[in-house]
Amino acid sequence: MDGSPAASFNLPRPGRCLSAVLATLSVVGILSALFVAWIPAAAFVFNGLTCQLGSAFHQPWRLLTSGLLTSPEHWGHLLFSLLGLYFLGAPLDKRWGPWRFLRLLLLSVLMGNLVTIAADRWLPADSQPRFHPGLVYGPSAAIAAIAVAWSREYPDSIVNLFFFVPLRGKMLLWITIGFCVLDLVYPSAMPEGVLAPFGGVITGLLLGGSPSLTRTAWLHLRLALLKRRSGSVRVQDVLSSRPPRRSRTGGPPLRVVSGGLDEVLKKRTPPKDKRYLN
């Protein structure tokens, strides 16, 4: 058994990390809608958590807190964000553990915002307005990262896309990339920015799988450094938790040294006067 999730319509049980993320996203999404629509004086809370491209590096918390926000204008953004995180995130949270799963979410949101900021600064000012949003927010980068990481972790498992289209994990990777490309083609209003999902795809490719591409690159780098120190290091020495046993080379050969009390007594001449022997 490889721990692959079975293809069924049973609702997966989220772990503690995913449950906390879903609860936080729900509370923040509902409160944001209340503040913006009903309490305009408190709308500064929502604006303070969004990622404003002009001041993102001066206020770095926005690069992460923007992933907790959803559109206050319609509940559909919040609902589909919760569904996207839940269905594919529950198996990853259970298999990876909370810290690795949370690291994937945080880095994907960060990468999505960095890609959006880079496009805003590098592309010409007269290019498409969708590449120059004033501010961005939303978890679409995290959803894309979860989909890509799931496809790398379970490449031969079946997932029911839209609840009735069965797809293997390998195909889900290309389907996710295809949806990201379609967001560039169609002028849909994405509060996250049309390029943010590509940041999630990159994060999912780097951190998904066991071992991930990031860990594999780190192990190869570690092996290269150890080989530079010693030419006799093997891959097993790098992966093993025990330190390698070093052989003694260049030392003198072992030999037996004669001597001791018996040898001394044999060579000793007995005295002529034996009165003092007892």
Top-confidence residue, 268 or 105: 105
Q: Which helix (H) or strand (E) covers residue 160, if one does? A: strand 158-161
Residue with tokens 């919760």: 82
Q: What is the pTM of this model?
A: 0.76
For residue 80, the model assigns a pLDDT of: 92
CA separation for the pair 137, 134 (Å, rounded): 11
Strand-pairing partners, residue 165, are 161
Taking only the tens place, the pLDDT of each residue in 150-196 is: 999 998 887 776 667 777 888 889 999 999 999 888 867 789 999 99
| Mean pLDDT, range 236-263, rounded to an integer | 61
| Mean pLDDT, range 195-203, rounded to an integer | 95
Alpha helix segments (H runs only) across 131-194: 140-153, 169-185
Asked if residue 109 lies in contact with residue 60, where contact means CB atoms within 8 angstroms, the answer is no
CA separation for the pair 90, 133 (Å, rounded): 32
Window from 47-51, 185-189, 212-216, 238-242 with minimum mean pLDDT: 238-242
Taking only the tens place, the pLDDT of each residue in 42-97 is: 888 898 899 998 888 899 999 999 999 999 988 999 999 999 999 889 999 999 99
Class of domain 16-207: mainly alpha
Q: Which of 187, 193, 180 is nearest to 66 (CA)?
A: 193
3-state secondary structure of 166: strand
Provide the token pair at 134: 């004033």
For residue 5, the model assigns a pLDDT of: 58
CA separation for the pair 219, 237 (Å, rounded): 11
CA separation for the pair 115, 109 (Å, rounded): 10
The percent of residues above 90 in pLDDT, for the chain, comes to 46
For the chain, give every domain's residue range: 16-207, 208-238
